[in-house]
Amino acid sequence: MSGMDKAHLNNMVGPVMRQGALARAVYEAAELDNPGRKIQMEDKVAYVRIQTENEMILRQDTIEEMLGKPFKLNQLEVDMASFAGRIETLDDHVRFYFAKRF
Amino acid sequence: MATLERMDWYDIARTTNWTPQYVPEDELFPAELSGHMDIPMDKWEIYDEPFKQTFPEYVKVQREKDAGAYSVKAALERSKLYENADPGWLSVLKAHYGAIARGEYAASGAEARMVRFAKAPGQRNMATLGMLDEIRHSQMQLFFPHEYVSKDRQFDWAHKALDTNEWAAIAARSMFDDMMMGRSAVEVGLMLTFAFETGFTNMQFLGLAADAAEAGDWTFSSLISSIQTDESRHAQIGGPLIGVLVANGKKAEAQRMVDSAVWRAWKLFSVLTGPTMDYYTPLEHRKQSFKEFMQEWIVAQFERSLLDLGLDKPWYWDIFMREIEDQHHGMHLGVWYWRQTAWWNPAAGVSTAERQWLEEKYPGWNKTWGACWDVITDNLVEGRKELAYPETLPVVCNMCQLPINTTPGAGWQVRDYPHEHDGRLYHFCSEPCRKIFQDEPQRYAGHQSIVDRFLSGEIQPMNLAGALQYMGLAPGESGDDAHNFKWADTIRDERLKKAS
């Protein structure tokens, strides 16, 4: 069954972004804001899946710096088409996480 | 002037419950509309929406999204997509718009029910934005295909499909009405926003966007992925509801709602999304197989969140895993065979190269589904085209409203899960479809499948012409092979070459 029946036993969290400048900025910010974590990027042409194990933080300031233009955290939604894990939206950062680990 | 950060005022602004003085609470929030299951008012107030957005932010962000999607459309309007696209790809567009565009207005109605009748203030707030999102989705998905109506009248079905009695429209309406029109605020939160939107819409609006990008249809890719950014937010309405229900001893009820919605969504996607991804999308543009998209979005992402929020895997997990491997192949064979009853032109997708791809993605395909296509192919290659049309009706499931089928093999295996209720014998395609009926028979008992309507004499005359008239399919709309059987000509040439 090609691992299908076990595919849900994972701890990958993070945003799925439509392709474009914001997706690249988010990937770069994910690397800077999550030291010590390996950030994966899967490119599906229309969208990119940016993921890591267990928890990912994305800070408004870091995304803004990577984007090179003013950016408010609520604008993340313009290109964030989905995400893995749970989300917590705060004033200066967003967090993806799981409450349970496999 | 310094302004407060959002989180300094958000909780106060959205905490809008009050003690009613002029009417009793049950009149303000009737049980059948709110679905509160006697959980007291204060228990709903712990609902904390994880994806927060305020109205001023919403308006600004939505304007930015629209500017993006509409400008891509405007820029590519002269790219002659319609003239240059593979006919199989045009069928993907027709099936998508027809089954979905008008359903988005129904979703707006369901969101509006949560806005008025949800007892959790946070749910009402998020649903207000969701209600507006769904209007955007309908309007865009009616506007974007409209440019093709003058070229191809099947595109008129983008707007009218759900107003007809065409069989796929009946199946889509049956599922969407069940999830959106006849459900309480809590049921909509769990069945529509959680089960359907955090799960299945990703398949249709992101998986298919990946295929669209590969196929060079950037207008469609940008449109549907932009729509999904709204879903990404308002689909979060359901998550905290699970927490409230589980904390108040209603886990079994929550689990049943989610199990029912996931199964019904799966069946519809097996006929709509499966064939479009694995057969209609031109081979060179397939980013992943339908099964691989299911694994990525539904199993690895959605089922994982389900467990995290405190629910269990659905009781039919093993059946589900088996169906992901093969159900859509049977749906595709059926849709292609009964193609005159579709509002799009199904692509057979069984050229020599395509069959190799299918065998690679679904080992064993050639020996099973391929054996059926061998018969069809031989008939076409040898000039017996009349045998590539059906003479009988399929048996249709009384829950999913789709043809009952199973993987063919050497033995005679009829798939049927019958159930008698109030003197009427119902037929289902699977244990989950039957169980959904048995859990809430009053909801489904009166519905007549398209085949029930045929057998009762409601469809007259009782032949293909009568059926097409009943379904509203005029000449020029009724489907045929997307490539006008050119794939069979190629196979004939290959065979002649081999023989000489």
- Give residue-wise pLDDT tens across range A37-66: 999 999 999 999 999 999 999 999 999 999
How many residues are given for chain B? 500
Angle of CA points B51, B57, B58, to nearest 5°? 70
> Does A102 fall in a domain?
no
> Does A75 fall in a domain?
yes
Distance (Å) from the alpha carbon of A58 to chain B's nearest alpha carbon = 14
Q: What is the pLDDT of residues B189-234, one digit of tens each?
A: 999 999 999 999 999 999 999 999 999 999 999 999 999 999 999 9
Of the candidates B7, B64, B307, the beta carbon closest to that of A8 is on: B307
Yes or no: say if B201 and B230 are a contact pair by the CB < 8 Å rule. no
Confidence at residue B391, expressed as pLDDT on a 0 to 100 scale: 86
Q: What is the pLDDT of residues B309-360, one digit of tens each?
A: 999 999 999 999 999 999 999 999 999 999 999 999 999 999 999 999 999 9
Q: Which residue has the higher pLDDT, A3 or B151?
A: B151
Q: What is the pLDDT of residues B389-403, one digit of tens each?
A: 998 889 999 999 999
Closest residue of chain B to A71, computed from CA coordinates = B61
Query: CA-to-CA distance for B286 and B456, rounded, in angstroms?
Result: 43
Instruction: Name the nearest CA neighbour of B402 among B342, B458, B344.
Output: B342
- Per the CB < 8 Å rule, is A74 touching B287? no
Number of structural domains (chain A) is: 1
Ramachandran class of B196: left when φ > 0, alpha when ψ lies in -120 to 50, beta otherwise: alpha
Percent of chain B predicted with pLDDT > 90: 93
Confidence at residue A24, expressed as pLDDT on a 0 to 100 scale: 97
Percent of chain B predicted with pLDDT > 70: 100
Residue A4 binned pLDDT confidence (cut-offs 50, 70, 90): confident
Residue B411 binned pLDDT confidence (cut-offs 50, 70, 90): confident
Q: Is residue B379's pLDDT more than 50?
A: yes
Query: CA-to-CA distance for B476 and B473, rounded, in angstroms?
Result: 8
- What mean pLDDT comes out for the span B130-159? 97
> Does A4 fall in a domain?
no
Q: Which residue has the higher pLDDT, B287 or A64?
A: A64
Q: Is residue B2's pLDDT more than 80?
A: no
Residues B313/B315/B317/B319 CA torsion (nearest 10 deg): -170
Distance (Å) from the alpha carbon of A81 to chain B's nearest alpha carbon = 4
Query: CA-to-CA distance for B69 and B58, rounded, in angstroms?
Result: 17
CB-based contact, A26 to chain B, within 8 Å:
no
**B489: Cα separation from own chain's centroid:** 34
> Which of A86-92's residues contact partners 24+ apart within 8 Å by CB, and which partners?
A86/A13, A86/B50, A86/B239, A86/B305, A86/B308, A86/B309, A87/B50, A87/B51, A87/B236, A88/B50, A89/B50, A89/B51, A89/B52, A89/B53, A90/B7, A91/B5, A91/B6, A91/B7, A92/A59, A92/A60, A92/A61
Q: How far is the CA of B87 from the CAs of B214, B480, B483, in angstroms?
A: 15, 11, 7
CB-based contact, A85 to chain B, within 8 Å:
yes
> Does A42 fall in a domain?
yes
Site from A44, A50, A88 to mutate, B interface, most B CB atoms within 10 angstroms:
A44
- What mean pLDDT comes out for the span B240-269? 97
Closest residue of chain A to B221, computed from CA coordinates = A46
Confidence at residue B414, expressed as pLDDT on a 0 to 100 scale: 83
Confidence at residue B5, expressed as pLDDT on a 0 to 100 scale: 85
CB-based contact, A74 to chain B, within 8 Å:
yes
Domains along chain B with CATH numbers: 55-499 (1.10.620.20)
Of the candidates A8, A75, A82, the beta carbon closest to that of B299 is on: A8
* Element holding B242 (H helix, E strand): helix B238-247
Could you tell me the sign of the dihedral formed by the alpha carbons of B264, B140, B282, B481, in that order? positive
Distance (Å) from the alpha carbon of A3 to chain B's nearest alpha carbon = 9
How much of chain A is in helix, strand and coil states, percent to nearest 5?
30, 35, 35
* Element holding B292 (H helix, E strand): helix B290-294
Q: Which residues of B touch A79 (CB under 8 A)?
A: 229
- Per the CB < 8 Å rule, is A5 touching B317? yes
- Give the domain range for residue A71: 12-97
Query: CA-to-CA distance for B238 and B240, rounded, in angstroms?
Result: 6
Query: CA-to-CA distance for B336 and B330, rounded, in angstroms?
Result: 10
- What mean pLDDT comes out for the span B7-31? 92
pLDDT, mean over chain B:
95
> Does A23 fall in a domain?
yes
Q: Is residue A1's pLDDT more than 60?
A: no
CB-based contact, A47 to chain B, within 8 Å:
yes
Specify the 3-state DSSP secondary structure of A99. Answer: coil
> Does A6 fall in a domain?
no
Confidence at residue A30, expressed as pLDDT on a 0 to 100 scale: 98
- Per the CB < 8 Å rule, is B229 touching A86? no
> Does A77 fall in a domain?
yes
Strand residues in A1-102 grouped as ranges (E): 12-18, 40-43, 47-53, 55-59, 80-84, 86-89, 93-97
- What mean pLDDT comes out for the span B91-96? 98
Distance (Å) from the alpha carbon of B434 to chain A's nearest alpha carbon = 23
Instruction: Name the nearest CA neighbour of B125 among B183, B173, B189.
Output: B189
Tokens matching residue B174: 């049956």
Of the candidates B53, B309, B325, the beta carbon closest to that of A74 is on: B53
CATH of the domain at A21: 3.90.56.10
Confidence at residue A5, expressed as pLDDT on a 0 to 100 scale: 87
Confidence at residue B1, expressed as pLDDT on a 0 to 100 scale: 60
Site from A5, A26, A60 to mutate, B interface, most B CB atoms within 10 angstroms:
A5
Under 8 Å CB pairs connecting chains A and B tally to: 124
Q: Is residue A99's pLDDT more than 50?
A: yes
Instruction: Name the nearest CA neighbour of B265 among B325, B198, B200.
Output: B200
Q: Is residue B4's pLDDT more than 90?
A: no
Q: Which residues contact B495 (CB under 8 A, 6 or more apart)?
A: B381
> Does A79 fall in a domain?
yes
How many residues are given for chain A? 102
- Per the CB < 8 Å rule, is B308 touching A86? yes
The distance in angstroms from the start CA to the end CA of chain A is: 20
- Interface confidence, given as ipTM, is 0.96
Instruction: Name the nearest CA neighbour of B295 among B347, B361, B360, B370.
Output: B361
Residue B125 binned pLDDT confidence (cut-offs 50, 70, 90): very high
Residue B486 binned pLDDT confidence (cut-offs 50, 70, 90): very high
Of the candidates B6, B232, B299, the beta carbon closest to that of A91 is on: B6
Closest residue of chain A to B210, computed from CA coordinates = A46
- Per the CB < 8 Å rule, is B229 touching A77? yes
Q: Which residue has the higher pLDDT, B77 or B171?
A: B171
- What mean pLDDT comes out for the span B357-386? 97
